[in-house]
Amino acid sequence: MTIDYLKRGRSDDDRRQDDAQTRASVESTLADIEARGDVAVRALSEKFDSYSPENFRLSAAEIEALIATLTEREIADIRFAQAQVVKFAEAQRASMTDIEVETLPGVILGHKNIPVQSVGCYVPGGKFPMVASAHMSVATAKVAGVPRIVACTPPFGGKPNAGVIAAMHFGGADEIWVLGGIQAIGAMALGTETVDPVHMLVGPGNAFVAEAKRQLFGRVGIDLFAGPTETLVIADDTVDAELCATDLLGQAEHGYNSPAVLLTTSRRLAEQTLAEIDRLLDILPTADTARKSWEDYGEVIVCDSHEEMLAVADDIASEHVQVMTDRDDWYLDNMTCYGALFLGPRTNVANGDKVIGTNHTLPTKKAGRYTGGLWVGKFLKTHSYQRITTDEAAARIGAYGSRLCLLEGFVGHAEQCNIRVRRYGGINVPYGGAAPYRDTD
């Protein structure tokens, strides 16, 4: 097995040091928000966004005024993209059914899918106004039936971004707040004098937003660890360097710490892609960001075979995986650790980010090993229930329960079963004793 790195990104140790610094900063900031509430939130907004309006929550009139600044074409495009996301979310919701089954005569078991009762949706917007993130969180929560949807987004250029606000409003947000970063996450999770806390936080964000969600997990639910964008391009010599370089830089422009990796069986393609990236960085308007990401986090890996590429890809567990090979469906059948797959040269990660309909809030930092991305099911809780409808079933299950509880030493548990064996089965079980076994069982 030969794996050759033509380019490496920053070491794991360097990345861990960055994470430690972020962790400490977030911890102290959340403590400040919990202690000082609205005062801390306003101070943070002034410090990081130079934004301090009379009210951070937008009124209905303010929302309508912002939407009115958009062109008909912009509104139509937003609605088209949102419709694709809603359509796929509705299909996913339809696949999740409540069930009820009689497992034994008189024993009824079931489960219900119940929406989370309040959700805080974070929509990034400091560097780029992430209109599409509103579809992915707000509109999907609406499809799930969440009764209270709170949406937060930072100001862009010193004011609310009309496109983001429109997408939030069209998606069904009940409250829209112009707040960004840790202050938004902290306010929604911890609550302040003016912000009622939510039960769950969702949405992507920078390293600080992702870390804030991680630290708040347990007090509230979170969708997943969705930090800085990651992309992995798996390619062979069926595609060219321009396509690979474009797809790598298209995601590297997200931020200064967005990993972009090329994994290929073709050394020629690898070398040509490196040269093509240099060329494109000279003409890309967002090169300042993309170049920093590529220099520090870009990697080019050459493998001997598709089997080797599969093993490396599953180990990387990238958020986005673009597959452009002579066997794309083979990767679909065999890959196990990733956020989302983009199969073939005709599609690309930007489609998934903005319009095609799958959710773009996806696991990062290897979280694809244990979770998929945000989807309608994340907003639903599956709760089980049980019912016993006959005396015979109560006595039969109770007898088994009695003996199994005592096997573990739980006498009080056993008595919960025994009292029902006595009442519904007419069997005089000694207090703290085991219910007898019957041959009919």
Helix, coil or strand: residue 341: strand
For residue 183, say whether it is annotated as part of any ligand binding site.
yes
For residue 206, say whether it is annotated as part of any ligand binding site.
yes
Catalytic residue from among 320, 383, 392, 415 = 320
How far apart are the C-alpha atoms of 390 and 336, rounded to whole Å?
Answer: 46
Give yes or no for a contact between 324 and 235, defined as CB atoms under 8 angstroms apart.
Answer: yes
How far apart are the C-alpha atoms of 185 and 202, rounded to whole Å?
Answer: 9
For residue 428, say whether it is annotated as part of any ligand binding site.
no
Catalytic residue from among 306, 319, 360, 415 = 319
Q: Which residues face 113 on adjacent strands?
A: 382
Give the distance from CA 253 to its chain's centroid: 21
Q: Is 242 a catalytic residue?
A: no
Tokens for 344, please give them: 């073939």
For residue 320, say whether it is annotated as part of any ligand binding site.
yes
For residue 5, say whether it is annotated as part of any ligand binding site.
no
Backbone angles phi, psi at 29, to 5 degrees: -70, -45
| Cβ atoms within 10 Å, residue 71 | 8
Angle in degrees, CA 361, 375, 124, rounded to 5: 30
Q: Which residues contact 349 (CB under 8 A, 6 or more apart)?
A: 231, 247, 250, 251, 320, 322, 342
For residue 174, say whether it is annotated as part of any ligand binding site.
no
For residue 92, say whether it is annotated as part of any ligand binding site.
no
Q: Is 320 a catalytic residue?
A: yes
How far apart are the C-alpha atoms of 433 and 237, rounded to whole Å?
Answer: 73
How far apart are the C-alpha atoms of 417 and 394, rounded to whole Å?
Answer: 9
How far apart are the C-alpha atoms of 232 and 422, rounded to whole Å?
Answer: 64
| Residues contributing to the annotated binding site for NAD(+) | 122, 183, 206
| Residues contributing to the annotated binding site for substrate | 229, 251, 254, 320, 353, 408, 413
| Residues contributing to the annotated binding site | 122, 183, 206, 229, 251, 254, 320, 353, 408, 413
| Residues contributing to the annotated binding site for Zn(2+) | 251, 254, 353, 413
Q: Which residues are known catalytic residues?
A: 319-320
